[in-house]
Homo-oligomer: A and B are copies of this chain.
């Protein structure tokens, strides 16, 4: 049972999804629900004995269509059914693979799958925002180690992208130009925080990064969302994603946990961006969200973006 509940002190929606409390939690490798179903073996989520990339609806979704009916709503207890879509995207049948070692061809296929899923989901009545993401590694809270990402089709534009869109729209209205483009030009002119610039993509640790090794991948073309990507754009994205994932692993010396989120919206004021946010601030230390971050929304960052960008550049 999923339900959206409104916080009257912030206007934000919280999702209660109590069935997720019992979701699969670090199953033994032999019982991974994301592996192919072996002949004569226990059926997994994927009823085939081999696959390249598999997409299916999350068995423990935060949102679902049709949504269960919400409780009666009143002024302080405003609730709505949590309509929407939650999909799982398995990157490989190889249980021990990671995004960084899928190989370029597979990453390019994955970008095509994302494009196909985005176009389908954004066209649905109940979906207002499509968020493609990967939670990778135990430190991020992942409970299944098989390489996979997720796609959420939210029934509203979530507050973080909504705030970004509002700033981008205001800039576009006032100046007739893209905020992201002006910002990217400034970052390129400064240069100190650029990790690489290749095949139409810029990788940058933003001046305002919240995490020490946060990297944004921004297309140089004014692409708002995946529906606008041609083959060359998809190749450029795949190249940039793989390169940054490999760079992380090389710099840290192990497969670095991270969150990756692809933000996009069909709005001429915006530009899509893939954001990587690893939690590590050193190979043996994590950045935690504590009182200042969680309660006040003020991030304290222990490393200068100029320094971490140089480290990534040299890795």
Contacts and interface: CB of A to CB of B under 8 A. Distances in A.
Interface of A: 5-18, 20-21, 25, 62, 74-77, 129, 131, 133-135, 140-142, 150, 152, 154, 158-161, 163-164, 167-168, 179-180, 182-183, 186-187, 190, 206-210, 259-261, 263, 275, 277, 281-282, 285-292, 294-305, 307
Contact of A9 (B16, B167, B259): B167
Contact of A158 (B207, B209, B296): B296
Given A25-B285, A135-B290, A167-B8, A277 B295 contact: yes
Specify how many copies of this chain sit in the oligomer.
2
B9 A179 contact: yes
A5 B282 CA distance: 22
A32 to B, nearest CB: 19
Binding site secondary structure of chain A: mixed
Nearest to A168: B9
A300 B299 CA distance: 21
A10 B291 contact: no
A51 to B, nearest CB: 23
A175 to B, nearest CB: 11
Nearest to A163: B10
A287 B295 CA distance: 16
Nearest to A4: B298
Which of A152, A161, A207 is most buried by chain B, counting CB atoms within 10 A of its CB? Answer: A207
B158 A298 contact: yes
